[in-house]
Structure 1
């Protein structure tokens, strides 16, 4: 009998403690959950900030800039320049918005070095390409396909068609005369459907000098939408890149 009473008392005590523990857990769950969630959000936010700071630091180093200068570039890019010249590189952006002559000279020097490195790399690859092309296709006109329009100041970008453009047949000689063997010209053919051979025949027909193509004084390219974005429906049409990276329509 005593054992039974003791067992019942012990069982009741255990049940009571379980109920109290459950109530405590129930009462603490919202606060505890909020605390855990907030901690997770804070950790995520901190990690995101650290990752972004690291990216900014790496980008600044690539362009020879301090983190402060990179932040200024991002600020400039998000305001007027986002409308005037959204595709300007960081050094040109900072240079045209420089507050002092010393700043302007610094960014100009950094850009000159950066451009020199870029051109050296491109020329090295171009030499390798020319050698490969001459070896593989010794009797063909070199054909240059640009993956994107470069922003080299002074270059002429000329848009024309292969067919259905009577003016295009005579205009090419005018633009070449305008360039006068001094200004590099990139010829973009609209509606070529990626047909390299058609452009080679067009170039031969219009007496495009293979030596100038080889030296990149003239490049031949399929247009991939640049005319649609910049040509305003005019055909043929030519542009020249200005110092701030903007395309200026030219009369020739």
Structure 2
């Protein structure tokens, strides 16, 4: 009985803290709209790391007209013949918009690299050009925040199994997800290379330890709000946990300790 009571208390504390942070997100959106600002948040990470659930908590009380969640599927045959960034450019935020990319052009540095969906030349060209591309976006007035959600191998295995047995999660199962454990080490190598090469001062990466879903939601939102300017910010709500939120230093310096 005591465990159930404690669980309910923790859930209530989470819901209360989340609500206060969602109020801060509404304040932020008001500023984005009033100032004709453009904010782009990129979420990458391991399969099952919790990108969908985190996005759901971010956008839950925001205006659907000025908030866009972008989750592009497999490119068409025509898109495969385009400049790689082209289909993503069409989804960038306009004035007064807040856009969240649930996976992004970094597919090329992760899934495509590991699964052999791109050539080595295409991968190299991407890695050599993405920083310059993002610099152009930042210079045009788009603020970019990049988050990588990291989980350990055991936690991923448990979440993958849960998807198989929960009828409400069946839509989340994909052939790529089913290969996640098999290619775990290759994804780790690709992740490390991406973080080392593409975390810049103008578009830095922040790694989130995502083993605990609720802590992921709270800490990522806290960090996001701490990195943007808006009137009436309640700074005392925005203190993150250093073992959950791990900023990546710029270009070529040591990355945080991550799941091997």
Q: TM-score, structure 1 length as denominator?
A: 0.23
The structure whose Rg is larger is: 1
Q: TM-score, structure 2 length as denominator?
A: 0.23
Q: Which structure dedicates a bigger proportion of its chain to helix?
A: 1
Query: Could you say which structure has the greater relative contact order, defined with CA pairs below 8 angstroms and 6 or more residues apart?
Result: 2
